Structure 1
């Protein structure tokens, strides 16, 4: 474990040792035995201190941390740091951590500036001991928080000075704060143009594996739909009736470009998308996601294929927690054209965007075959919750 050491006040200590040595020699020359012994004891204490602080902390190791901690906004969890020390004990130290402000430390001694929390906790460890430091953290806002800096300050026992050790290796631990979930009170309507598994009172398609009854035969009915046992019982031809069904799977396309003069627009869209994902997971609706943020994968933008399930839900929450308004973005109309050309469109499409009038040509085309929802909730439109 590599530490960068900074020593403060060492020059003053050396000057003090020089003065004490001069007085010791003068006392010795003038045969002042008691006075010389006092100066010798002071010189010995300063010498011991220099030897101690030249070696302290060199064998201190930060044991591996838990890789990832997950938070909801307002929930608390503990950051646990474990240290293993060498032969030289550390007394009266102060551990200082700098962490990104997606989480907030629940301690009294801290500072907050430029998106970073600096906080301080007492630190001491004996010779050859292991010690755990537990720091409560609270989810503050959606995002990812890493520890950016760790230092340990050890003040001198005698004199005004200290040794500051800064960890020179990265700390591979991250704290993810999931976006806020707003319960979806509406309903995503299935497409009437495609067969599927969603029950409907009226539909163009029927599930032949779910007969719900019979009715009198009419000449337009198909021959294979006649219920022969019911016909024999009723003494007239009866036709099977099946459950009307249509397809329900959803494509969410979020516009990550912020609305002008609207602070927090990006966060509101993320919360909106997370709430839709929560609704689809609870109702077992398959869904896919497109976001116009640049990536380095097969597709140049964020694309999550069609699927469902709780494991997928957790992974998507982690992806949404990592997204930032500082990420590079692609024009929304370019994304819509790419989706139109390269993605098999599901029955229902939800556009989470501002200024939907700019993309009317593409949405009109999709409306012929799909159910399209334009969600511009912060503009007071009727599609809002």
Structure 2
């Protein structure tokens, strides 16, 4: 690791230099051995001071792994990196670490300046010594926390100077703090009877390739679904019962740029719905009107399900901030609607301007049920959008 090194000389060094000149003149004038000894001793002091400040810290190596740790608010973890000193001994040093305030130290005093936490701890390392630096932290708010800089201050043993080593490059390790989940209540249940391939107890469709049992034959049951072996065993006509299937996928639309949008509340409601979808085995897709590079101009997570898919969604939510570049919300909705993919449930979260109404209506024309999530007194309410 390459450090930016700065050497600060104390005024005492200049005074010693002037004394050396005076001692040299006096030793020649008076021929005094004592004055000559003081001159030689002072020269060694000045040279030693110069060499120590010049060489100390030159072979201090910073080692850190590249890793991503995912946390919920109130979870604890630690920053950990290693300093290996291959050069001159470092005594009475000071280590300052700065990182984003999404996490805060647990055991160390700190200051928080413009969203950056700074921690100072004593530091010393003998030659060829490895020092593991561990700072326990607790997640306090949603977002991404990274170590922005490490500074090592090394004073001279006699207090005649100071060396400052700075590493201003962010380390590879980072911590993603997932959002809180704020409950979203639904006033009533609305069912969408679209054909699909997911198990759906309320669906009017079924999968003829997945029989799950039999029932006694009733008038009107299709003849081709009679279970002849079961009928022979029970001496009564039996009809196959199939697993009900339908479309259950949610499309979550999150607007992070509305004039009336409470960003953190909207993200927390979105996180709750994602958790709910995973618990109920509901596939979901997520779209956020934040610009990105690639095929899509905005964040879009394709349809998926399960914990792995939830982690991908929460990673996106953790990276959102008020400084994120956005695209107009209505343009994102229009683009998704124009792709021709049918979603049985479309859930809009956040503010929406009249310019986006037509696109939401477009989903309704395709057979989607469109819901809107509103935040009322710090609680979420999901209702059919009108």
TM range (shorter): 0.7 to 0.9
1:74 matched to 2:74? The reply is yes
In 2, distance between residues paired with 1:86 and 1:226?
Answer: 82
1:299 matched to 2:296? The reply is yes
TM-score by length of 2: 0.85
CA shift in 2, pair 1:49/1:348, >3 Å: same
Q: Once structures 1 and 2 are overlaid, which stretch shifts more, 168-177 or 235-244?
A: 235-244
Q: Is the 8 A contact 1:65 1:82 kept in 2?
A: no
Q: What's the CA shift for 1:224? A: 1.6
Q: Is the 8 A contact 2:146 2:173 kept in 1?
A: yes
Unpaired segments of 5 or more residues in structure 1?
Answer: none
CA shift in 2, pair 1:171/1:246, >3 Å: closer
Cα deviation 1:195-253 (Å, max 9, x = unaligned): 444343x54223433355434533x4433234556667888766555454432111111
1:346 matched to 2:343? The reply is yes
CA shift in 2, pair 1:158/1:71, >3 Å: same
| Secondary structure of the structure 1 residue equivalent to 2:158 | coil
Q: How many residues align?
A: 379
Q: Once structures 1 and 2 are overlaid, which stretch shifts more, 126-135 or 369-378?
A: 369-378
CA shift in 2, pair 1:13/1:110, >3 Å: farther
Q: Once structures 1 and 2 are overlaid, which stretch shifts more, 28-37 or 329-338?
A: 28-37
Q: How do residues 42-81 of structure 1 correspond to structure 2 at under 5 angstroms?
A: 42-81=42-81
Q: Is the 8 A contact 1:189 1:348 kept in 2?
A: no
- More strand by proportion, 1 or 2? 2
In 1, distance between residues paired with 2:301 and 2:79?
Answer: 31
CA shift in 2, pair 1:300/1:383, >3 Å: same
In 2, distance between residues paired with 1:68 and 1:323?
Answer: 17
Give the equivalent residue in structure 2 for 1:383: 382
What is the CA RMSD across the aligned residues, in angstroms? 3.1
Q: How do residues 230-249 of structure 1 correspond to structure 2 at under 5 angstroms?
A: 239-249=239-249
In 2, distance between residues paired with 1:192 and 1:129?
Answer: 69
TM-score by length of 1: 0.85
Q: How do residues 260-339 of structure 1 correspond to structure 2 at under 5 angstroms?
A: 260=260, 265-339=262-336
Cα deviation 1:325-366 (Å, max 9, x = unaligned): 211111111111111111512222111122476644443443
Q: How do residues 104-183 of structure 1 correspond to structure 2 at under 5 angstroms?
A: 104-167=104-167, 169-182=169-182
Q: What's the CA shift for 1:286? A: 1.3
Which residue, 368, 371, 383 being the options, matches 1:370?
Answer: 368
| Secondary structure of the structure 1 residue equivalent to 2:348 | strand
CA shift in 2, pair 1:192/1:7, >3 Å: same
CA shift in 2, pair 1:205/1:132, >3 Å: same
In 2, distance between residues paired with 1:247 and 1:162?
Answer: 69
Q: Is the 8 A contact 2:274 2:310 kept in 1?
A: yes
CA shift in 2, pair 1:83/1:159, >3 Å: closer
| Secondary structure of the structure 1 residue equivalent to 2:138 | strand
Q: What's the CA shift for 1:65? A: 2.5
Q: Is the 8 A contact 1:217 1:226 kept in 2?
A: no
Unpaired segments of 5 or more residues in structure 2?
Answer: none
CA shift in 2, pair 1:252/1:63, >3 Å: same
CA shift in 2, pair 1:241/1:57, >3 Å: closer
CA shift in 2, pair 1:50/1:195, >3 Å: closer
Q: What's the CA shift for 1:290? A: 0.8
In 2, distance between residues paired with 1:366 and 1:245?
Answer: 22
